[in-house]
Amino acid sequence: MLDRSFTLGRYAGIPVKVHWTFGLLFLFIIYIGVESHKTTLEQIFFILTFLTLFFCVVLHEYGHALTARLFNVHTRDIIISPIGGVARLERLPVKPKEELLVAIAGPMVNVVIAILCFIGIASFAGMEHFIFNEQSDQIDSFPKFVVAVFFINVVLFFFNLIPAFPMDGGRILRALLSMKLGKTKSTKIASIIGKMFAVGFMFYGLYISHYVLVVIGGFIFFMANTENKQVILEDRLHSTKIDDIKRSEYTTLYLHDKMEKAVNLSLQQQENNFLVADLEGKLIGILHNLFIRDAIQDKRTHEPVSTFTSTKFHVFTPDMSIYEARHKMNELGLSIVGVGNSEEELVGVIDHDSIVHFMRMTSR
């Protein structure tokens, strides 16, 4: 329920989704718009301005997504929630320069929109529309509306450049630092700067009794922390080889073995996934721990291993990174793979458990 969102459409192959809480915000905005404005024209312009804000946020996210595409990074979707938009990239760009360009592309979209608005007003309506005063602080004409869109984009630009995760400014800062210091160290520094900003936000919010700032500060603090852990983990997954986490001691099951054997081994020795060999000892498949559980649940442990074997068997070379192995295993639906330079010379196995265990140890 909490992560429920609905898809508005798909442009350039990327689905644009709206989080359900955004629907609530929209209803609230309509309510405010109708309550606080006298004329229908003002009410319409108020709602139109909000919809344009939404549209500008979507365009901002497309800035990130389409730039990422230049570096072969796909975007799963763009999600808009009341606290902002996010383009969920399938992976982080690897090179600092790429990360920099992807991060900067979003705010640049806002700059372009702001410039277009400014040119439009300056050439067709006159600069006096930029001046708001007591009598004319409502948006009740098209030029006023364009001026509002101008200011919205200026605010979006500066807000996103705050140098703290998860704002673009945090990523830009990290990318710039990465060019000299490497990703892990840069993330640490960027994360500390982000947290200092967050704490500053919170104190300032308390000082001027603006509690929204306190909440935003808390949110930034939390995100800076999460992002830091995430990058450190990803770094370790990239730099550690599967050779370092392989199990050299492992049991191979045969097609004619009874499932009881797998169940017993799984209970005793914490081996939960197995390689399976045929009568000649040739490896031909794997036994997934989910199927072992099924066998227990359905009381089918007297049946042979062959009934539960998936005939997928892969061997990864020892120098493969855990990151790549994990990715490939997910893609191919493998719970265990052999480790070695060829099928005949296995030096061990790795399975889901080995990877999860490694990630848990690293995240501590």
Residues that bind Zn ion (CB under 5 A): 106, 168
Residue closer to Zn ion by CB (options 89, 214) is: 89
Q: Find the shortest distance in angstroms from Cβ 359 to Zn ion.
A: 28
Least Å from the CB of residue 222 to Zn ion: 18
Q: Which of 175, 13, 156, 11 is nearest to 85 (CA)?
A: 156
257 Cα distance to chain centroid: 43
Q: How far is the CB of 112 from Zn ion (least distance, A)?
A: 14
DSSP 43-103: HHHHHHHHHHHHHHHHHHHHHHHHHHHHTT--EEEEEEETTEEEEEESS--SSHHHHHHHH
Residue 313 Cβ, how far from Zn ion at the closest point, in Å? 43
Query: What is the nearest approach in angstroms of Zn ion to the Cβ of residue 52?
Result: 17
Positive/negative CA dihedral, 157, 71, 12, 223 = negative
Contact between residue 336 and residue 353 where contact means Cβ atoms under 8 Å apart = no
Based on CB atoms, which residue is closest to Zn ion, 62 or 308? 62
CA atoms within 13 A on the CB side of 161: 13
Nearer to Zn ion, 160 or 186 (CB): 160
Tokens encoding 257: 């073995």
Q: Between 109 and 275, name the residue whose CB sits nearer to Zn ion.
A: 109
Minimum CB separation from Zn ion for residue 64, in Å?
6
Q: Which residue is nearest to Zn ion (CB)?
A: 106
Identify which of residues 105 and 349 has a Cβ nearer to Zn ion in the complex: 105
Nearer to Zn ion, 169 or 285 (CB): 169
Contact residues for 80 (Cβ-Cβ < 8 A; gap 6+)? 16, 17, 18, 19, 22, 54, 57, 58, 61
Q: Are 217 and 199 in contact (CB under 8 A)?
A: yes
